[in-house]
Structure 1
Amino acid sequence: MTCETYIDPSPVNFQAFKDLPRDTPINMLNLLLYRDLADYPEGHEHAGKGWSGKRAYEEYGKTSGPIFQRVGGTILWRGSFQTVVTGPEGERWHDGFVAQYPNAGAFFAMLKDPEYQMAVVNRTAALVDSRLVRFAPGEVGDGFG
């Protein structure tokens, strides 16, 4: 696995996201790699509690969940990592899920919500690496094409 890690979007990637249509449904693939020990900023209410990264992410889910639901978000799929079949050797994740938003505007509304901005500290403290990849929803069925 590469030594570079990603918690927040780069300015270039975030601009590419913002440049896409905002009025169509989006699916966001989330891949999560938790820290052994959550890394909260000094003085934060959860600093020094000895929480694992997974526990800090659970707190993120608890505190951001109502905002996610308020903007119309739903979880389409959730799973626990087992192995990479095609990809870099040694790449690993703890958990993954696909979140669906009614449109990109809903995602932006969540990011701008003051309660969400307080909750996201838990996500940052929880993760050593992550991926957030936007997809346009497609048709489902029994074939690959």
Structure 2
Amino acid sequence: MSQTYIDPSPANFQAFKDLPRDEPIQMLNLLQFRDQAEYPAGHEHADKGWSGRRAYVEYGKTSGPIFERVGGSIVWRGAFQTMVTGPDAKQWHSGFVAHYPNAGAFFEMITDANYQLAVVNRTAALVDSRLMRFEPGETGGGFG
């Protein structure tokens, strides 16, 4: 099986932290759900038999108020259909782009104590993911 990614590596997270924090950012999220969520033993949801997708719904419910409080919004969401360019073996279940008014808002969210509790649901839900930071650009027009 190929390598999977749920949390950032220390080097990747440092590169993120080294970028400006006072500029708007957009975060591309690609998600591959587990068939069965994997919670830590003793967690309140560990014995519920949830799918990864259901655990991610719980992550959204519990992290959503924090995401909105820091000014986050979803600017695009989609369900994967097929790989056009890329490895045939990689299939994402879902993807979205989250907009933050600045990178500092993202840091405020991930360091919030309630977010730290909520993120357990994300970890339980995913077998693989990608999270990529982009500087927002103009929309509309052509590819150039």
TM range (shorter): over 0.9
Write the distance in 1 (CA, Å) between the matches of 2:119 and 2:79: 22
Is 1:20 matched up with 2:19? yes
In structure 2, the partner of 1:64 is 63
In structure 2, the partner of 1:89 is 88
| Higher mean C-alpha displacement, 18-27 vs 85-94 | 85-94
The runs of 5 or more residues in structure 2 that have no matched partner are none
1:12-31: CA deviations, max 9, x gaps?
00000000010000000000
The runs of 5 or more residues in structure 1 that have no matched partner are none
In structure 2, the partner of 1:45 is 44
The offset of 1:142, in angstroms, is 2.0
The 3-state SS of whatever aligns with 2:78 is strand
In structure 2, the partner of 1:7 is 6
Structure 1 residue identity aligned to 2:137:
G
Aligned pairs for 1:53-132 within 5 A: 53-132=52-131
Q: TM-score, normalised to structure 2's length?
A: 0.99
The 3-state SS of whatever aligns with 1:76 is strand
Number of equivalences: 144
The offset of 1:91, in angstroms, is 1.3
Structure 2 residue identity aligned to 1:73:
G
Structure 2 residue identity aligned to 1:23:
D
Q: Identity rate of aligned residues, in percent?
A: 76
RMSD between superposed Cα atoms in Å? 0.7
Write the distance in 1 (CA, Å) between the matches of 2:68 and 2:140: 27
Write the distance in 2 (CA, Å) between the matches of 1:138 and 1:55: 33
The 3-state SS of whatever aligns with 2:62 is helix
